[in-house]
Amino acid sequence: MHTDFPAPARLIVTGARGLLGREILRLAPDAAGYGRAELDITDRAAVDAVITPGAVLINCAAYTAVDDAESDRDAAFAANATGPAVLAAACAAAGARLIHVSTDYVFPGTADTPYEPGDPTGPATVYGQSKLAGEQAVLELGAQVVRTAWVYSGVEGDFVATMRRLEAERDTVTVVDDQVGSPTSAADLAAALLELSTRPDAPRVLHATNSGTATWFDLAVAVFTELGADPARVLPCDSSAFPRPAPRPPYSVLSPAAWNAAGLAPLRPWRSALADALQRVSD
C-alpha cells in the first residue's frame, strides 16, 4: 500500500467525518475536509465557495442507510444524486477535478464473476438507484467514479467494528454465509484514492477493493481469529435468517482489472488489510 504520492495543488474531501473521509485526512492531513455540518453539498453557493481552480475533490459524502432509504427516497437521492451533481457542476465551472466514490449496489448483485466497470447496471434497492443516479450525473460533467464495496475501519458502526463488539459481548454470533464480496479496508481505499488524485489520465470509471473474496461469515471468522478468539463461536446462516427492507446483493465482487491496467497500485489481499486494520485499532 503506497502512501507517498505527490499531492495535488489542493485536495478537498467531502464526507470527511465518515469512515473513509477520516482515513483520507489521516493520510493527507493538509487536505481541506468538510463534513455534513460544515458543508451542504446540495447548496451550490456553499460548494462554490470552497472549490478553487486546479483542486481535486474526493467526494465520500453519501446516504448509506441502505434499509432506511427504502422509505426515505428523497433523502437518499438528495445526498447520493443531487449533491454529487452539484459538486460536479461546481468543479467543472471552477476548473477543478472530482473523484466520486460509488458502490457495488449499482449492480443487480446476481452475477457469478467479478463486475467490470462497463458491465450493465441494475440496482435492486433505492440506495443503489440513488447512487447510480449520482454516477450518471457526475460522469456527464467529466468526473471520475470509483466503485467500492464492503468498506470498514473497525472503529465504529461498520461490520468489523460490530464483530469486535459482539466478540466481547456474546458467546456466539450468527452471520450470513451466502453473500460474497471483497472486504475493503478504509485505509487501503483512502490510499488508493490519493494515488488516483495524482492521475487525471486514469479511466473515468474504476473499481477499487481489497483483492480476494469472502462471505460475511468468512469475514467474521477472520475478525475473531485476529482477536485471538475461537472462530468456532461464529455460526453460519443464510440471508433468510435476517430479512431486511432492502435486499442485499448475493454477489458484490468488483473486478480490479481496469484499475490495475491503468498502472495504479493493486490493492492487497483483504486478509492482510484486515490484520493491519485490527492492529491499528487495538494500539
Task: Provide the annotated active-site residues.
Answer: 127
Amino acid sitting at position 171 = D
By three-state DSSP, how is residue 63 classified? coil
**CA dist list (Å): 43 to 6, 55, 76, 82, 156:** 31, 19, 16, 10, 29
- Hey, how many other C-beta atoms are within 10 angstroms of the C-beta on 105? 27
Asked whether the CA dihedral 193, 199, 204, 207 is positive or negative, the reply is negative
Separation of alpha carbons 8 and 145, rounded Å: 18
How is residue 5 annotated by DSSP? P
278 neighbors 165 (Cβ within 8 angstroms): no
Please report the DSSP string for 211-259 in residue order.
Answer: BS-EEHHHHHHHHHHHTT--GGGEEEE-GGGS--SSPPPSB--B--HHH
Take residue 94 and report the three cell numbers written for it. Answer: 471552477
Amino acid sitting at position 259 = W
